[in-house]
């Protein structure tokens, strides 16, 4: 089906009380795995490409074109998103390629500079019909993001959104990037306060560190776009490692990368079903798979 914008998917998810799964891709196997999971579940999904991944590949164009092509060929609604961009020129390149949404990360800048840079990029993107996400409050390494002072203030978030004109806001509520365990403790009261103060969809970064029950409660409290990366990479890596251990003579990447792809498909499908429970039906049972905890 035609490419669907992230803004459209986020608006629908928010109106229906569901979470919009947004999963980072590093290579083609991630793209095909995530799209397969979306088709299996019938749930919309966002394919995210980070600036770090662009740096790894040495260029945005090849992976972005692959993601856009997969989205256009999918049987369900799929969007493509440029994630954690600190270079405005890279965001401009993504827009020129047809990527329908970008996340500008100016959180490391002083507040006034963050506002100015974000507003300028948002204005340029708005003229092209591109949905812009920004970040307020640090969602960084585990120690920093779990420090007591590292949280997004609701009043500041409302002012920032009004000053910049962004369409979505990533907020610091106690999660952290690159966590290998799922024991982060989001501040659900803060999420509710942010939801009441901010008129645009809220985005949860660092969601790999949040367990199933926490993800469901975060959506119920007001989070809409749920970003997950490290958790899927862990599943991918374990499957590849297990396959190579079981077949030490294997030299065909299609075999072990295929095992990683299948693992990502299975876990993405499980997470999409979890995130797409309507609020009225939200109830995470005690039977959460042990492997997911």
Say if 45 falls within a structural domain. Answer: yes
Say if 142 falls within a structural domain. Answer: yes
Domain count, the chain: 1
pLDDT over 70 at 257, yes or no: yes
* pLDDT given at position 189: 94
78 strand-pairing partners: 45
d(CA 59, CA 271): 30
* pLDDT given at position 207: 79
Question: Which range marks the domain in which residue 28 is found?
Answer: 6-292
* pLDDT given at position 152: 86
Say if 165 falls within a structural domain. Answer: yes
* pLDDT given at position 141: 41
* pLDDT given at position 269: 98
* pLDDT given at position 142: 35
Tell me: the pLDDT tens digits for 98-129? Answer: 999 999 988 778 888 889 999 999 999 999 99
Residue 92 burial (C-beta neighbours within 10 Å; 0-12, 13-18, 19+): middle
Confidence band for 176, pLDDT divided at 50, 70 and 90: low
Mean pLDDT (whole number) for 161-174: 93
Run of H or E including 223: strand 223-228
183 as an active site residue: the answer is no
Exposure string of 101-117, with b = 16+ CB inside 10 Å and e = fewer, is bbbbbbbeeeeeebbeb
Regarding predicted confidence, which is higher, 136 or 280? 136
Confidence band for 154, pLDDT divided at 50, 70 and 90: very high
At 230 the three-state DSSP class reads: helix
Q: What is the DSSP letter of 277?
A: S
Say if 1 falls within a structural domain. Answer: no
Tell me: the pLDDT tens digits for 59-113? Answer: 999 999 999 999 999 999 999 999 999 999 999 999 999 999 999 988 778 888 8
Regarding predicted confidence, which is higher, 212 or 279? 212
d(CA 36, CA 57): 23
d(CA 156, CA 231): 31
pLDDT over 50 at 290, yes or no: no
**pTM assigned to the model:** 0.89
pLDDT over 60 at 17, yes or no: yes
Confidence band for 178, pLDDT divided at 50, 70 and 90: low
With beta carbons less than 8 A apart as the criterion, state whether 47 and 28 touch: no
Considering the chain, what is the average pLDDT of its residues?
88
* pLDDT given at position 137: 64
Say if 17 falls within a structural domain. Answer: yes
pLDDT over 80 at 174, yes or no: no
Tell me: the pLDDT tens digits for 185-244? Answer: 788 999 999 999 999 999 998 877 787 998 999 999 999 999 999 999 999 999 999 999
d(CA 220, CA 17): 7
Q: Tokens 């798979």 belong to which residue?
A: 289
Say if 170 falls within a structural domain. Answer: yes
Catalytic residue chosen out of the listed positions 83, 167, 187, 243: 83
Mean pLDDT (whole number) for 171-178: 78
* pLDDT given at position 283: 40
- CATH code, domain carrying 99: 3.20.20.70
d(CA 289, CA 293): 7
* pLDDT given at position 41: 98
């Amino acid at each position: 089906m035609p490419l669907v914008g992230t803004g459209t998917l986020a608006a629908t998810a928010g109106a229906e009380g569901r979470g919009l799964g947004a999963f980072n891709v590093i290579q083609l196997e991630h793209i095909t795995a995530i799209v397969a999971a979306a088709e299996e579940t019938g749930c919309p999904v966002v394919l995210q490409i980070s600036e770090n991944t662009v740096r790894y590949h040495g260029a945005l164009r090849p992976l972005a074109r692959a993601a856009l092509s997969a989205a256009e060929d999918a049987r369900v609604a799929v969007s493509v998103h440029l994630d954690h961009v600190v270079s405005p020129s890279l965001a401009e390149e993504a827009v020129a390629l047809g990527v329908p949404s970008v996340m500008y990360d100016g959180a490391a800048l002083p507040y006034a500079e963050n506002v100015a840079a974000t507003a300028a990029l948002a204005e340029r993107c708005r003229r092209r019909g591109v949905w812009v996400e920004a970040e307020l409050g640090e969602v960084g390494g585990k120690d920093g993001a779990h420090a007591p002072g590292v949280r997004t203030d609701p009043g500041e978030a409302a002012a920032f959104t009004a000053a910049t004109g962004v369409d979505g806001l990533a907020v610091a509520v106690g999660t952290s990037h690159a966590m290998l365990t799922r024991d982060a403790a989001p501040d659900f009261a803060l999420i509710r306060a942010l939801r009441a103060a901010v008129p645009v969809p809220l985005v949860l970064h660092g969601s790999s560190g949040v367990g199933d029950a926490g993800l469901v409660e975060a959506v119920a409290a007001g989070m809409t776009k749920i970003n997950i990366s490290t958790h899927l990479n862990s599943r991918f890596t374990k499957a590849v490692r297990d396959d190579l251990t079981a077949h030490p003579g294997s030299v065909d990447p299609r075999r072990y990368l295929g095992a990683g792809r299948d693992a990502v498909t299975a876990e993405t499908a499980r997470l999409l079903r979890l995130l797409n429970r309507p609020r009225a039906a939200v109830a995470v049972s005690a039977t959460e798979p042990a492997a997911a905890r």
